[in-house]
Amino acid sequence: MQQLVLDASSVVGLLLDPDAEEHAIASRGSLHAPSIVPYEVSNVLRRLQGAGKLADRDAEQAFADYAALDIELWPWPTLGERVWQLRGNLSSYDAAYVALAERIDATLVTRDARLARAPGTTCAITVVA
């Protein structure tokens, strides 16, 4: 089974779009993310709801669906040193996903094409729409 690291953008896509490419990708592997992903995902849902782009009921459902996902969360101590090394090219948030994918030899799944183009990364990155 393939190892996959999902960033917050791909998790939100998985939660909100039943036709998202992430569904097919996620079904092929074990899912991993740095321990910041629950906070990032809930913040995106909050922002979408606050902006009127996501109904209250849909936001509640997406939040509940997130809790049901089987994503292994990885803590800061296992990623921090590599995150710091990537500071010149990536935010600490983005670097955490890259660091994890590199550490466990996984493919990083993202909707952020800029992240995929960042220099200094050594993991496979799949950009989904």
Residues in the chain: 129
Task: Say which residues have a Cβ less than 8 Å from residue 108's Cβ, sequence separation at least 6.
Answer: 4, 5, 7, 97, 98, 100, 101, 115, 123, 124, 125, 126
Q: Is 128 exposed, middle or buried (0-12, 13-18, 19+ CB in 10 A)?
A: middle
Neighbours of 114 (CB within 10 A): 10
Q: What is the dihedral of CA 60, 33, 123, 47, to 10 degrees?
A: 30
Q: Is 94 annotated as a binding residue?
A: yes
Q: Is 58 annotated as a binding residue?
A: no
Known binding residues for Mg(2+) are 7, 94
Known binding residues are 7, 94
